[in-house]
A and B are shown apart, each in its own frame.
Chain A
Amino acid sequence: MPHAHPHDHDQVRDAPSGGGETITLEQRVLGKNEELAARNRSWLAERDIVAVNLMSSPGAGKTTLLERTVRDLTGRRRPVAVIEGDQETTLDAERIRRAGGAVVQVNTGAGCHLDAEMVQGALTTLAPDGGSLVLVENVGNLVCPALFDLGERSRAVIISVTEGTDKPLKYPYMFAVADLVIINKVDLLPYVDFDTDQCVRYARSVNPDLRVLTLSATTGEGLDDWYDWLDARS
């Protein structure tokens, strides 16, 4: 994006015809969200809190990965807290709570993504300890969350081997904004037609800098790499 801040300078000139006047705005459409995201980023940094935004299609295994992550990391490294974004229900938040994590649920209703304002409210409610790791589970959707900065340190996209190999080409915006791609459910590879290497090639064709991890949140295979990656965000 060419501008890093919303503009707010007015130029008023006479309209060529039809009366009225033309007001030049030249402001970024998402400027307000980006301002709030910057505020969240400062708030988190002041408290040495690392926030990671997790995005995926519905059913890719986000909540299972988070349950496992909360269980494995509680008491080992930073305190772990979770912000759960869903359109409806608190089912996922209850799963995280049972796993032992501090959690707050954000129901977006008709909204298909979290935004910086929702995360600001969630952080106020959650009140995470200084030095925490805050995992933000976005609404299950590979399109809309890509446009909304939440103030996070890093973005991870999760896809599962039960989805199509060509997912990164079908949803390029999401892969373009991510720092990490997690390929989940690798324990199912013998049973599905998924080409991991090709999927990684597609993902890197829209974002050459992507880190890629393969794991199974169910069997635990590859989870240590994920935890190492989280450690490296600090």
Chain B
Amino acid sequence: MHELSITQSIVDAVCERADGRPVRTVRIRVGILTAVVPDSMRFCFDLTTAGTVAEGAQLEIDQPPGTAHCRACEKDFALPDLVLLCPCGSADVAITSGQELQIVSMRVG
């Protein structure tokens, strides 16, 4: 359950930045190709914000889809999982999105 330590680091960063002001919403970006489960993060968010300035805050999760670029046929294509295979049959591909794991913004005050 690595989501606990990951969510804890989000809450630490948010509380540090809030500078004592109450945090109302936190927006994060979790690509679908990261090994992070959004539902687990929501559960951990409620646990880790308890007793902090972010207690009761809403967690908004953007989930960019997986996409990749094929170096063989030069096309971009959707990548639903980490199996690196272009519809053209080539495995010479580069992941272009879906691996994001970022804190985007927060609303305070």
Contacts and interface: CB of A to CB of B under 8 A. Distances in A.
Interface of A: 1-3, 15, 18-30, 32-33, 111-113, 115, 143-144, 146-148, 169, 172-173, 176, 204-208
Top 10 A-B pairs ranked by shortest CB distance?
A: A20-B109, A144-B2, A173-B35, A172-B82, A206-B82, A29-B101, A25-B103, A24-B105, A205-B83, A22-B107
B63 to A, nearest CB: 14
Nearest to B35: A173
21 contacts: A1-B99, A20-B21, A20-B107, A22-B105, A23-B106, A26-B102, A26-B105, A27-B102, A29-B9, A29-B101, A29-B102, A30-B6, A111-B5, A146-B35, A169-B83, A172-B83, A173-B82, A206-B82, A206-B84, A208-B84, A208-B92
Contacts of B107: 15, 18, 20-23
B35 A23 contact: no
A205 B84 contact: yes
Q: Identify the interface centre among A22, A26, A208: most chain B CB within 10 Å of its CB.
A: A22
Given A144-B2, A146-B35, A208-B84, A32 B9 contact: yes
B82 A176 contact: yes
Interface of B: 1-2, 5-6, 9-10, 13-14, 17, 21, 24, 28, 34-36, 81-85, 91-92, 99-109
B47 to A, nearest CB: 12
Given A21-B109, A143-B35, A169-B83, A208 B103 contact: no
A185 B99 CA distance: 33
Contact of A115 (B5, B100, B101): B5
Nearest to A141: B2
B99 to A, nearest CB: 6
B109 A30 contact: no
B24 A20 contact: yes
B2 A23 contact: no
A142 to B, nearest CB: 10
Contacts of A176: 82
Contacts of B82: 172-173, 176, 206
Contacts of A33: 9
A19 B24 CA distance: 10
A2 B35 contact: no
Nearest to A13: B105
A25 B1 contact: no
A40 B91 CA distance: 33
